[in-house]
Amino acid sequence: MKTVGIISEYNPFHNGHAYHIRKAKELTGADFCVAVMSGDFVQRGTPALMDKYLRTACALANGVDLVLELPACYAVSSAEYFADGAVTLLERLGVVDALCFGSESGDVDVLMQFAEELLNESPAFKRELNHQLRLGYSYPQARNFALETSAPHLTAYIDVLTTPNNILGIEYCKAILARESKITPCTIKRAGASYHDNSLESNLCSAQAIRESLRHSKVPQSVVRQVPAAAREIAEPAYLKTYPIFADDISQLVHYSLLSKEAAGFTDYPDIDKELSDRIRNQLPKYHDFNSFCELLKSKNRTYVRISRSLIHILLDIRKKDFDRCRKEGPVFYARMLGFRESAAPLLSAIKEKAQIPLLSKLADAEKQLAPAALSMLEKDIYASHVYQSIVRHRFPDTDPFPDICEQKMPIIKM
């Protein structure tokens, strides 16, 4: 039995994702596909367009056999920690043979070379990196300058570090190398539109293009054709009932969270030093909405996305001490199931036999299976879901209430 892992957000699920799942199985000869997916908040530091169970059902209907939730503390972290949390989860299942990810490069050997250089951090690299950071460049810019100095043999490929899927792919490779994992990395060259392309003309558009179209209009035919039929059948009944959710839908909650914690400052949260904490406090009287506040706070060395993630850490009360404890004692303590195909029974049996961490299907059983640090991580996941549900209820007040988080049933696809 061969199993391929995919790390995903499916925000939302579209033709490109179905293509990725299909090619991943073909390329690796896998019998089963396991997807580690962000929950209700995603890596850009925003709420997901639709809730995690709806996205899970779409993935299962299009070829994924088992969907597991990436813990919230990693789902809303930088690429390095996002990748390490997801790779570690796949590694500890004990059954995953390969990790298949999309990239603009399509050359896994080149991505692995960059991963080795960034993992080892030679003295020359560190010196140049610190020099560029002191000059005020953001970390990604400083890293690129440092690599050109310390690894001249990679200069011809330096453009690899300018595109998001390549960067994330390198972090996956780094995590595999750092953990001396037996998982084999492989990549599929990204087809269709680029990550930031908002055009809907290609049959394989970006998720961002779909989100932007939904933000500005009702669902046009150009969006409909971007989503596989099986996913459309699942998602359409929930449209304007539980989704779409956008970044500004959390504006009031974030504002309240900042006001309630302002007195103590914000240096207890990941990626927030005293300078940023003071800037948040000083600019708080100008708060209008989430997006504009992120724009107000960003600077030469702090990107919009880094700011938005920091604000989500505050909203979800993910503190440095919690994150550091998870990194030290984990970094991943459990595999929380979001849904599976009935035909994946052999896969579930193999995981239960070989996994180094418990496979959680019911929250009610978690207390018996998890140590205190693990329970603390799970509590953050549950809290994030409660926050997300409150956002949905506020945006769609006429929608029937969500079931209690402990009673929500995961999707099970009969295939």
Decide: 82 and 88 in contact? Cβ < 8 Å: no
Containing structural domain, residue 380? 3-104+187-246+332-413
Q: Which of 299, 323, 347 is the last residue of a domain?
A: 323
Same structural domain for residues 99 and 196? yes
Same structural domain for residues 211 and 300? no
On whether residue 266 sits in a domain, the answer given is: yes
Same structural domain for residues 11 and 100? yes
Q: Which of 323, 348, 371 is the last residue of a domain?
A: 323
On whether residue 61 sits in a domain, the answer given is: yes
Same structural domain for residues 310 and 398? no
What's the CA gap between 99 and 7, in Å, rounded? 8
Q: Which of 265, 293, 323 is the last residue of a domain?
A: 323
Max CA distance (Å), the chain: 60
The single-letter DSSP state of residue 243 is: B
pTM, two decimals, is 0.92
Residue 59: predicted pLDDT: 97
Same structural domain for residues 21 and 60? yes
Same structural domain for residues 267 and 238? no
Residue 404: predicted pLDDT: 54
Decide: 100 and 29 in contact? Cβ < 8 Å: no
Same structural domain for residues 355 and 239? yes
Please count the residues of the chain: 415
Same structural domain for residues 100 and 240? yes
Same structural domain for residues 219 and 258? no
Number of domains making up the chain: 2
Same structural domain for residues 192 and 61? yes
On whether residue 127 sits in a domain, the answer given is: no
Under 8 Å CB-to-CB from 120, ≥6 apart: which residues? none
CATH number, position 236: 3.40.50
How do the pLDDT tens digits run along the chain, 415 residues long?
Answer: 999 999 999 999 999 999 999 999 999 999 999 999 999 999 999 999 999 999 999 999 999 999 999 999 999 999 999 999 999 999 999 999 999 999 999 999 999 999 999 999 889 899 999 999 888 887 888 888 898 888 888 887 888 888 899 999 999 999 999 999 999 999 999 876 565 666 666 677 788 888 888 887 766 566 778 899 999 999 999 999 999 999 999 999 999 999 999 999 999 999 999 999 999 999 999 999 999 999 999 987 889 999 999 999 999 999 999 999 988 888 999 999 999 999 999 999 999 999 999 999 988 888 889 999 999 999 999 999 999 999 999 999 987 655 554 445 667 776 5
Same structural domain for residues 261 and 362? no
Same structural domain for residues 242 and 255? no
What's the CA gap between 242 and 235, in Å, rounded? 10
Residue 270: predicted pLDDT: 94
- Give SS3 for 173: helix
The single-letter DSSP state of residue 236 is: G
Give how far Cα 291 sits from Cα of 211, 248, 296, 318, Å: 15, 6, 9, 20
CB atoms within 10 A of CB 130: 12
What's the CA gap between 90 and 302, in Å, rounded? 31
What's the CA gap between 367 and 371, in Å, rounded? 8
On whether residue 151 sits in a domain, the answer given is: no
On whether residue 387 sits in a domain, the answer given is: yes
On whether residue 399 sits in a domain, the answer given is: yes
Residues pairing with 185 in the sheet:
99
Question: And the tokens for 407?
Answer: 């009673």
